[in-house]
């Protein structure tokens, strides 16, 4: 069993390793490994977030189809935009990638705030 501080840092370690692989090596294999590591961190983060939700279950949107896409969407947007920014040298693509990274951050922060609300009337 891991100590709590280490346990809490595991998904962020995966995020950091994945982004480092993409940033430091301009080859397909390290990029693929980086994307996989990032998505593994996203999966750990998603499972913990789901287990720690404090919002009332009646407020949750019931989704059966595309549930995993919905859960992973901000992570997919972020890692796609970041990888695109690393692999292209076009200024327009870089600006669009930065905007997509910001949009992913906004989506993720809205979800965190929503999942930890205590009100039944939103």
Tens-place pLDDT, residues 31-83: 999 999 999 999 998 888 777 766 556 556 666 667 778 888 999 999 999 99
Pair of tokens at residue 43: 């999966």
DSSP secondary structure, 3-30, as one string: -HHHHHHHHHHHHHHHHHHHHH--SHHH
Q: What is the per-residue pLDDT for 5? A: 82
Q: Mean pLDDT in the chain?
A: 85
Average pLDDT of the segment spanning 22-36: 91
Backbone angles phi, psi at 52, to 5 degrees: -100, 10
Pair of tokens at residue 75: 């992570």
- Cβ atoms within 10 A of the Cβ of 42, count? 22
The answer to whether the beta carbons of residues 37 and 21 sit under 8 Å apart is yes
Q: What is the per-residue pLDDT for 59? A: 58
Q: How confident is residue 93, by pLDDT bands cut at 50, 70 and 90?
A: very high
Q: What is the per-residue pLDDT for 117? A: 61
DSSP run (H or E) holding 53: none
pTM: 0.80
């Amino acid at each position: 069993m891991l100590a709590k501080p280490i346990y809490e840092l595991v998904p962020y370690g995966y995020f950091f390793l994945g982004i480092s692989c993409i940033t430091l090596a301009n080859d397909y294999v390290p990029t693929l490994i980086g994307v996989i590591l990032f998505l593994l961190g996203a999966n750990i983060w998603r499972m913990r977030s789901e287990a720690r939700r404090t919002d009332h279950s009646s407020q949750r949107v019931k989704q059966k189809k595309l549930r995993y896409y919905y859960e992973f969407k901000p992570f997919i947007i972020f890692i796609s935009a970041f990888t695109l920014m690393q692999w292209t040298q076009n200024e327009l693509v870089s600006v669009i990638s930065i905007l997509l990274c910001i949009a992913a951050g906004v989506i993720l922060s809205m979800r965190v705030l929503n999942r930890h609300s205590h009100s039944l009337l939103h």
